[in-house]
Every structure is written in structure tokens, then in C-alpha cells.
Amino acid sequence: MKSIFIGTRIEALEKLEELTEVLDIITIKDSYIDNKRKKKIIVNKHNKEEINSFLTNSSAKLIFSSGYPFILPKKLISIKKKYLLILIQVYYPNTKVENVSKELTKTMKIYMVAHYTI
């Protein structure tokens, strides 16, 4: 299946690459993906509408979002015969530990929201 990755979570991108043919990678400047990948598109507040149009008109059957910092337009969700997967990571902010990042990965819950339009 052809896909497009949008976001900042490199581990999600790597898994998507194992399972699909990733056509394009869209990320933000200075993210792990930006620093580790040569072939990518950088999104920012000035070009996000252009990126939304690109996503809407792409031939990819799957758009996978993990760590994408912008709201996706309704028209993207209503495209016929296209999947939109959004990975949302939720953590408990009241955790009191010295090394917060390690504790967050222990207590993190992962939710996936899938939209498919016919």
C-alpha cells in the first residue's frame, strides 16, 4: 500500500516503512526525522495550506500522522477511498520522577484513530 507519513515520531515512521511503500515524509524543521532523513518535506505555518492541498491530491491510500503539529482539514478526512490514521500518545502529567522521559514511556498509553471514507 502506498502511504505518506506526516509528523515527528521517527519510530512510527520506521514501522510504517516496514509495512507500506512510503511515498513522502512531511515533518517539521529540527525534528529527529529532519535530522536523519534526506528525502522529506518541511512543513511550517507558512506552507501548511500548500501541504494540505498536496495531501488531499496525493495518490497515497494511507496518510499516517504521528506528532503532526497542525490541524488537518475536514476535506482530507472526506476523500473517497483513502485511510487517515492518527497516532495519539497520551501521558499522565502529574508523574513526579527525576527522569520524566523514562517514566513517560512506562506509563504512556497509545491510541489510534482511523478514518476511512467510502
The predicted model scores a pTM of: 0.73
**Cα 89 to Cα 65, 68, 113, distances in angstroms:** 11, 12, 11
Task: Return the CATH number at 14.
Answer: 3.40.50.12230
Report the candidate in 22, 80, 21, 71 with the shortest Cα–Cα distance to residue 43: 71
Grid cell for residue 113: 484513530
- Give one DSSP letter per residue of 21-57, joined into a string: EEEEEEE-TTSHHHHH-SS-EE--TTTHHHHHHHHHH
Instruction: Please give the residue range of the domain that contains residue 38.
Output: 2-116
Residue 8, classed as helix, strand or coil, is coil
- Give one DSSP letter per residue of 77-90, joined into a string: HT-TT-EEEEEEEE
pLDDT at 8: 93
* Regions of the chain with pLDDT less than 70: 77-81, 87-118
pLDDT digit string (tens) for 39-69? Answer: 999 999 999 999 999 998 898 988 888 889 8
Q: Report the domain count for the chain.
A: 1
Residue pair 23/2 in contact (Cβ under 8 Å)? The answer is yes
pLDDT at 115: 46
